Amino acid sequence: MNFKKIIIATSLALSVAAAAFAEEPKKAPVTPAATPVATAPAAPGTPTLAVPAAQTAAPAAAAPSSLKPKRELKANKAITLTMFGIIISITLGVVVWAASKTKTAADFYAAGGGITGTQNGWAIAGDYMSAASFLGISGMISLYGYDGFMYSVGWLVAYITVLLIVAEPCRNAGKYTLGDILSFRTDPKKVRAVAAISTVAVSTFYLTAQMVGAGKLMALLIGVPYKTAIIGVGILMVGYVVFGGMTATTWVQIIKAGLLMSGAALLSVLVMAKSGFNPIGFFNDIVNSPDIQDHVSKLVLKDGVILNGIDAGQRFLEPALFMKAPLDQISLGMALVLGTAGMPHILMRFFTVPTAQAARKSVIIAMFIIGGFYVLTTLLGFGAAIHVTPQGITQVDAGGNMATLLLAQQLGADISPILGDIFLAFLCSVAFATILAVVSGLVLAASAAIAHDIYVNVIKDGHADQHEQVMAARVTSLVVGAVGIVIGIAAEKQNVAHLVALAFAVASSGNLPVVVLSLFWRKFNTAGVISGLVVGTVASIGLVMISPNMTYPKVVAAGAQKVITAMEKKQAALAPGAQLEEKDAKALAKAKVDFEKNKDGKSIMGLDKPILKLKNPGIISIPLGFLAAIFGALLFPSRRSEEMFDEVYVRQNTGLGMAKAIDH
Amino acid sequence: MAEKQYDWAAIAKNPKFVELHHKKSAFLFGWWIFSSVYYFLLPIGAAYAPGLFRIKIIGVINFGYVFALSQFFVSWGLALYYAHVANKDFDRLTRELVEELHLS
């Protein structure tokens, strides 16, 4: 029990540190919307595009609404913190209950296989839908209409792959981790080590993006300093996982999914009520909104297209206001459709249910929740466009991430001012719960890979008793969580947008090919797993490093140069002695600073401009991953692996021998 | 824990298992390909057939919107159809196979 004391002591130390942090930087006022969180709860493809596009739109868009007072998003602290408190106490209650049930490794990693299909379905939805889904997609719809809706589709269709190809076989053939599935008929030590590295890589990329998003979101919503927010979220996340393991994580995810769906449903009803519950009327409201028409006119004007009035409104319901690179969209679609099924934290959820039937049921339930949520998101996004207006949304956040929250505040306030505060506070707490649920799942997946694959099976050769296994899992989770906090703090000023794209790219190019081939191809073997994982992972990372996702100082400098030229032209056109408007003068000064800072810089890879035009490398890296896996296996054939295929194949189809897989 | 030792190669050749394997593979990969094709028609169509997506169907609601929305219903429909077939056919075959093995 000494370990337990150490864990408790460390957690306490962490919380004291958090309190210390919380005291100090509070003096520095947090200016809302200083940094567009667009980059933060980033969904692949959204943010980096959204920011420049929206920034250029913002000054222009400010004109028609300049008569109205500047919009601000200020959550009522008392109400919001009370709701946060309620969520924290409920989840901590769950942790205490779960801790008493977590005695074996199977309890810790897989909740003892005692989660029902329905519960797991909600938990999968809770694990999957990040703040990017919740805030990012509705924001995208509110600013770019149809493209945002089209973007959301891939996130659901991805589950067809999960349902048809991986869920049931993984339930039957695996135990706790990706490594379990892959090492069945291969050299277990090598394969586990490589699989663990890939799992940790995917989880770290995704976790970093989520942590940075969480910090920025909390800073924006309730004005807590960035560091405090990260440490607070981090401690809760570590607490859930270390003490409650999979059981607590599952219930946090279920609670979050419930909150998310109620929030979305409530707002959707209010939005539809405004249009008299008439869908046709709702769409007419979109097309006829003068603010949307004006916003679209300005958007298309940048491409040299002139559209006005009702035509501009109609254009909002048509594609390509935002997604102008079809190949990138297709590439992203491939990463989603194949990557979701290769995400370690999603795969892990299938080990928590007792049978393949329950795994199947859970995916189907998750599909209805996730799909239903995205359909409601459309109503929220369009609703925000109608009622908050794109101009109002970009005033608060250029990337549109605050659209849903603004909508909640406004719809509530239309009924009664206090209700506006309550709705906003409720949605802030939904965002908070969302972050907690997603990061906990990721920490658990990464720790399982390190503790179960590397420590227990590679270092200890599988000879570790239950007590030691659970301890290893707890200590690892603590370390992974602490590292997550440190990375989150360190990455505050970094561009993390590409990390989500990267996580999906690695999952789809590295993990998915080897999982599918392990389950379905007789000739697959150790060499295939290793070459597939290594090539898929390295190719994804390499391609992202040379893609437009990275910051290219010379490109930034060129942009600044354009602003300088434009402003100087404006200055020259003015009467002698006249000064630029304050706004323009500021823009000029900022552009000059940006230009000086960036004119000689190079990207991390020492490049002047991206080599690859694609933000999402899937279309190249997925075939590479598959080819490497296939060639690796063919070059180094293994008779043992081929002979054992019958066993794997019978097991994954029938579930025979599964009890052994759970107990041993 | 006492574990029944199975002759995996023999089970793999069992006619029941072969039937299960054929039915399942055809269903799973066939429908997976269908759903992928149907999904990729959306970004491809939006990019290369914007005229089609613009056609109004009901009031101001256009084909593009209906097509994107249909993706949700097609996915749900496929999920339910799979559940139906799996519960009715695949699970039954598996059950029969397992019973046969435990009797022998």
ipTM: 0.95
Per-residue pLDDT tens for A189-244? 999 999 999 999 999 999 999 999 888 888 888 788 999 999 999 999 999 999 99
Q: Which residue in A436, A376, A445 sits closest to A407, CA to CA?
A: A376
- Between A30 and A273, the higher pLDDT residue: A273
**Which among A317, A319, A374 is the nearest to B50, CB-wise?**
A319
Show residues of chain A in contact with B75, CB under 8 Å: 156-157, 159-160, 367, 371
Measure CB to CB from residue B39 to each of A154, A165, A360 and give the nearest one: A154
Residue A454 to residue A97: CA distance in whole angstroms: 29
Mean pLDDT calculated for residue range A277-290: 94
pLDDT band per the 50, 70, 90 thresholds, residue A3 = low
pLDDT tens per residue, range B7-18: 888 899 989 999
- What separation in angstroms does the CA of A659 have from each of A171, A173, A456, A521, B2? 11, 11, 20, 24, 11
- In contact, A585 and A558? CB cutoff 8 Å: no
State the maximum Cα–Cα separation within chain B, in Å, rounded to a whole number: 68
Whether A51 has a pLDDT exceeding 90, the answer reads: no
Determine the pLDDT at residue A592: 87
| CB interface of B with A, residues 17-76, below 8 Å | 17, 20-21, 24, 28-29, 31-32, 35-36, 39-40, 42-44, 46-48, 50, 53-54, 58-62, 64-65, 68-69, 71-72, 75-76
> How many A/B residue pairs have CB atoms within 8 Å?
156
pLDDT at A8: 55
Q: pLDDT of A461-501, one tens digit each? A: 888 889 999 999 999 999 999 999 999 999 888 877 778 88
Q: What is the pLDDT confidence band of residue A623, given thresholds at 50, 70 and 90?
A: very high
Q: Rounded to an integer, what distance in angstroms lies between the CA atom of residue A225 and that of residue A227? A: 6
Q: Examine the pLDDT at A46 and tell me if it is beyond 90.
A: no
Q: Nearest C-alpha of chain B: how many angstroms from A461?
A: 20
Say how far apart CA A413 and CA A415 lie, in whole Å. Answer: 5
pLDDT of residue B24: 93
CA distance A321 to A317: 9
Length of chain B: 104
Short-list A280, A314, A266, A238, CA closest to A473: A238
Which is more confidently placed, A80 or A662?
A80
Query: For position A134, what pLDDT does the model report?
Result: 78
Q: What is the pLDDT of residue A664?
A: 40
Q: If 0-12 CB within 10 Å is exposed, 13-18 middle and 19+ buried, where does residue A152 land?
A: buried
> Burial letters for B41-67: b for 16+ Cβ neighbours within 10 Å, e otherwise?
ebbebbbeeeeebeeeeeebbbbbbeb
Q: What angle do CA A372, A378, A380 make, to 5 degrees?
A: 105
Angle at A97 between CA A463 and CA A433, to 5 degrees: 100
Whether residue A208 contacts residue A491, with contact meaning beta carbons closer than 8 Å, is answered with: yes
Contact A143, A394 (CB under 8 A): yes
CA A342 – CA A362 distance, rounded (Å) = 17
pLDDT at A494: 80
Spatial contact of A472 and A192, defined as CB atoms under 8 Å apart: no
> What is the pLDDT, as a whole number, of residue B3?
56
Q: Are A40 and A213 in contact (CB under 8 A)?
A: yes
Rounded distance, CA A103 to CA A361, Å? 27
Residue B76 token pair: 């749900």
Distance (Å) from the alpha carbon of A11 to chain B's nearest alpha carbon: 38
> With pLDDT > 70 as the criterion, what percentage of chain A qualifies?
89
A589 half-sphere exposure, CB direction, 13 A CA radius: 7
Supply the pLDDT for residue A4. Answer: 54
Tens digit of pLDDT for each residue in A570-606? 888 887 777 777 878 888 888 888 888 888 888 888 8
To probe the interface with A, which of B75, B98, B100 has the most A CB atoms within 10 Å?
Answer: B75
Quick one: pLDDT at residue A662? 47
A127-131, A400-404, A605-609, B27-31: which range is least confident on average?
A: A605-609
Which of A284, A318, A363 is closest, CB to CB, to B54? A318
User: What was the pLDDT predicted at A569?
Assistant: 84
Quick check: A12 pLDDT over 60? no
- Integer Cα distance of A627 and A513 in angstroms: 9
Judge: A364–B24 Cβ closer than 8 Å, yes or no.
no
- Looking at residue B101, its pLDDT comes to 85
Whether residue A174 contacts residue A158, with contact meaning beta carbons closer than 8 Å, is answered with no
Q: How does DSSP assign A141-154, residue by residue?
A: HHHHTHHHHHHHHH
Q: Do A319 and B83 touch (CB under 8 A)?
A: no
**For residue A424, pLDDT beyond 80:** yes
Per-state percent for chain A, helix, strand, coil, to nearest 5: 80, 0, 20
Predicted pLDDT of residue A62 = 37
Contact check, Cβ <8 Å, B72/A149: no
- A365: chain B residues, CB-CB within 8 Å: none
The band of A348, judged by pLDDT with boundaries at 50, 70 and 90, is: very high
Angstrom distance (rounded) from CA A512 to CA A504: 10
What is the pLDDT at residue A1?
A: 46
Q: Quote the pLDDT of residue A615.
A: 86
Residue A50: the pLDDT is 34
For residue A6, what pLDDT is reported?
Answer: 56
Mean pLDDT of B43-59: 92
- Range A50-75 average pLDDT: 46
| The model scores a pTM over 0.95 | no
A319/B47 CB distance under 8 A:
yes
Distance from CA of A512 to the nearest CA of B (A): 15
**pLDDT computed for residue A5 by the predictor:** 57
What 8-state DSSP symbol labels residue A71? P
* A13 band by pLDDT with thresholds 50, 70 and 90: low
Whether B11 contacts chain A with CB within 8 A: yes
Q: How far is B40 from chain A (nearest CA, A)?
A: 7
Residue partners of A268: CB distance under 8 A and separation at least 6 = A376, A379, A380, A383
What's the rounded mean pLDDT across residues B60-71? 95
pLDDT score for A599:
83
> CA nearest A472: which of A496, A449, A495?
A449
The confidence score (pLDDT) of residue A164 equals: 96
Lowest model confidence (mean pLDDT) among A65-74, A100-109, B44-53: A65-74
Kindly report the backbone phi and psi dihedral angles of residue A644, in degrees, each rounded to the nearest multiple of 5, phi listed first. -80, -5
- Show residues of chain A in contact with B49, CB under 8 Å: none
Contact A375 B69 (CB under 8 A): yes
Quote the minimal CA–CA distance from B71 to chain A in Å.
7
Q: Minimum mean pLDDT among A105-109, A470-474, A652-656, B79-83: which range?
A: A652-656
Considering chain A, what is the average pLDDT of its residues? 86
Q: How confident is the model at residue A399 (pLDDT cuts 50, 70, 90)?
A: confident
* A54 confidence band (pLDDT: 50, 70, 90): very low
Instruction: Inspect the interface and report whether the beta carbons of B8 and A149 lie closer than 8 Å.
Output: no
Put simply, the answer to whether B36 touches A371 (Cβ < 8 Å) is no
pLDDT band of residue A657 (cuts 50, 70, 90) is confident
Asked if A146 and B6 come within 8 Å (Cβ–Cβ), the reply is: no
Give yes or no for residue A661 having a pLDDT over 60: no
Percent of chain B scored above 70 by pLDDT? Answer: 95
- What was the pLDDT predicted at B33? 96
Helix/strand/coil for A73: coil
B68, A364: Cβ pair inside 8 Å?
Answer: no
Stretch A559-564: mean pLDDT: 85
